[in-house]
Amino acid sequence: MEIKRNGANGRRAQSVSYNGILYTSGITTTDLDADITGQTQDVIHIIDNILARNGIDKTRVLTAAITLADMADYGAFNAAWDAWVVDGYEPARSVTSGQLAVPEYKIKISVTAAL
C-alpha cells in the first residue's frame, strides 16, 4: 500500500494518506487577527479543502483533536464547530488546552478521515 504525502515542505506534510485513512497535521488559521469564531471557521475551511483534494468531505471524518489556546473560548468554538458538523456524522473528538506555536493562534485542529 502506497503512502501519499501531500503539501510537504521539508518539515511536515499537510496531510498523509495510507491504507484508506487520511491524517492531517495540526491545522491553524491564516487569519491571525480573527477571534476564536473566525479562526475556527478558517481552520474548518482549510480542512474542508484538504478533504476535497482527497475526494472526500466532512462526513468521512473519524476523529478530531482540537487544541484551544484558552479554554474560555470553548463555548464560541463549540458554536462554530456545531454549525459545521453534520448530524449523524459527528467524529470522535477531544478538546484540550495548550500553548500554540504562534501567540495569535487561538486554535489548532487535526483530523483523521476515511478515504
Measured distance CA(50)–CA(81) in Å, rounded = 17
The CATH class of 4-114 is alpha beta
pLDDT digits (tens, 9 = 90+) for 38-85: 999 999 999 999 999 999 999 999 999 999 999 999 999 999 999 999
Q: Among candidates 93, 85, 98, 97, which has minimal Cα distance to 110? A: 93
pTM above 0.75, yes or no: yes
Q: What letter represents residue 115's amino acid?
A: L
Strands 92-97 and 61-68 turn out to be parallel
Q: Where are the domains of the chain?
A: 4-114
Q: Which residues contact 39 (CB under 8 A, 6 or more apart)?
A: 28, 29, 31, 105, 106, 107
pLDDT digits (tens, 9 = 90+) for 14-35: 999 999 999 999 999 999 999 9
Residue 50: all three cell numbers together? 484538504
| pLDDT at residue 1 in the model | 87
